[in-house]
A = this chain, B = another copy of it.
Amino acid sequence: MGSLLLTGIGELVTNDPALGDGSTLGLLTDAALVSEGGRVAWVGPAAAAPTTDAVQDVGGRAVVPGFVDSHSHLVFAGERGPEFVARMAGESYAAGGIRSTVAATRSAPDELLTANVARLVAEMRRQGTTTVEIKSGYGLTTHDEARSLAIAGAFTDETTFLGAHVVPTEYADDPAGYVELVTGPMLDAAAVHARWIDVFCETGAFDADQARAILLAGQARGLRGRLHANQLGPGPGVRLACELGLVAVDHCTHLEDADVAALADSGTVATLLPGVEFSTRSPYPSGRRLIDAGVSVALASDCNPGSCYTSSIPLCIALAVREMGMTPAEALWSATLGGARALDRSDVGRLSPGSRADWAVLDAPSYVHLAYRPGVPLVVETSASLR
């Protein structure tokens, strides 16, 4: 495969402020892009484009960096549609619902779990996602966590060990024993398949002391830490993430001023997951408040069968604008370069020389349409970088 010129780009989002209009998004109009060997080799005005082996004209459409979805739970089996219906009829969301998926996942053969991940990853790609993080966390035995991560690893390098999702039923009377398992044999088995370690730090899941112990054990094995925190109510999770210098802390639905200050001081990325608030009918956090405080914000799907079964980053962008006080530009940045920062990746989330050639072509003249046209499948083509 030689060099490809993508031209006729009505609006190109580079996410490089040194390019284009000088804004954070680094916008160019009437632009072109050259890719070679899976990397961006050149971007600039279409009229100044170099000669390449192949040319594709996108007819004035907008091109954006492929979305970087830094938070998903795709390795599972079972059906929780009826639980969703009950929740919409008034039942509240509780972390314990995870256990129904655990039972279905444990009893599913590898082939079924793999097929489910493949289907959801393909669905994500059709919607513009080119980098996806995938967590374990519905196995909760040493065997099932390791096989969940092995399956995830066939689709992405961004695999996260989430043995500490909830305490499984068989350890209900011995949560300390379960933490020993997670930090011991389960971690040993998971570490060879995972890049990250994560904990659901929340009432009904794991407290701050447990979360700290699990994260430190994972770090000692070479995994990097990230955290689910402050989803269902205020709590110590966000400050713990900042104290430990984690790259990202996710949910951040219920934040006190001290949490916001800690995020701003630490540089830890706050990953907002508005699909969860949508699908659990919960109040949305304010992205505006975080951005105004100088916090780096990422947007991700949290695609999972319980609290949020969307795989749509465009919907998350539209919700961030409608519900979280973010501008369309901020929402797009958060779903691309913000997601890249949440995964500590410098090669994705942008379209500038040296980055991966991961883009999405929109059937629209501007990225603004991602929020202006909610629910519409605007992505007409994604460069195929998800394995």
Q: Give residues in A with beta carbon < 8 Å to B.
A: 79, 81-82, 84-85, 88-89, 123, 126-127, 275, 278-279, 281, 309-312, 314-316, 318, 321-322, 327-328, 363, 365-366, 368-369, 371-377
Instruction: Return the chain B residue nearest A377 by Cβ.
Output: B377
Query: Cβ of B84 and Cβ of A368 under 8 Å apart?
Result: yes
Partner of A279, one of B366, B368, B374: B374
Question: How far does the alpha carbon of A88 sit from the alpha carbon of B372 in the complex, in Å?
Answer: 10
Whether the Cβ atoms of A315 and B375 lie closer than 8 Å is yes
Q: List 25 A-B contacts (CB under 8 A).
A: A79-B365, A81-B366, A81-B369, A81-B372, A82-B368, A84-B368, A84-B371, A85-B328, A85-B368, A85-B372, A126-B377, A127-B375, A278-B318, A281-B322, A309-B369, A309-B373, A310-B373, A310-B375, A311-B373, A312-B374, A312-B375, A312-B376, A314-B375, A315-B315, A318-B375
* Contact yes or no, A322 B278, CB < 8 A: yes
Residues on the B chain within 8 Å of A377, using CB: 126-127, 377
Specify which of A309, A310, A372, A375 lies most central, judged by the most chain B CB atoms within 10 Å of its CB: A375
Using Cβ atoms and an 8 Å threshold, which residues of chain B touch A281? 322
> Which residue from B79, B89, B309, B314 sits with its C-beta under 8 Å from A327?
B89
Least Cβ distance of A147 to chain B in Å? 24
A309-B123 contact in complex given A79-B365, A88-B322, C-beta closer than 8 Å:
no
Contacts of A371 in B (CB 8 A): 84, 88
Complex contacts, A88 vs chain B, CB 8 Å: 321-322, 327-328, 371
Contact A279 B372 (CB under 8 A): yes
Neighbouring B residues of A279 by C-beta, 8 Å: 322, 372, 374
Query: Is the Cβ of A374 less than 8 Å from the Cβ of B275?
Result: yes
CA distance A377 to B373 in the complex (A): 14
Q: Report Cα–Cα, A314/B315, bound state, in Å.
A: 12
> Which residue of the partner chain B has the closest CB to A312?
B375
Q: How far is the CB of A371 from chain B (nearest CB, A)?
A: 7
Note all chain B residues with C-beta closer than 8 A to A368. Answer: 81-82, 84-85
Flag if A309 contacts B278 (CB, 8 Å): no
Contacts of A376 in B (CB 8 A): 123, 127, 309-312, 315
Cα(A366)–Cα(B80), bound, Å: 11
| Bound-state Cα–Cα, A127 to B377, Å | 8
Instruction: Name A317's closest neighbour in chain B (CB-CB).
Output: B375
Distance (whole angstroms) from the CB of A51 to the closest CB of chain B: 32
Are A372 and B84 within 8 A (Cβ)?
yes
Of listed A310, A365, A374, residue having the most chain B CB within 10 A: A374
Complexed CA–CA distance, A371 and B79 (Å): 14
Tell me if A310 and B374 are in contact (CB < 8 A).
yes
A108→B84 CA distance, assembly (Å)? 46
CB-CB under 8 A from A85, the residues of chain B are 327-328, 368, 372
CB distance from A86 to the nearest CB of B (A): 10
Distance, CA A354 to CA B315, complexed state (A): 37
Whether the pair B309, A372 counts as a contact (CB closer than 8 A) is yes
Give every chain B residue within 8 A of A82 (Cβ-Cβ): 368
A368 to B278, CA, bound (A): 15
Residues of chain B with a CB closer than 8 A to A123's CB? 363, 376
Chain B residues in 8 Å Cβ range of A314: 375
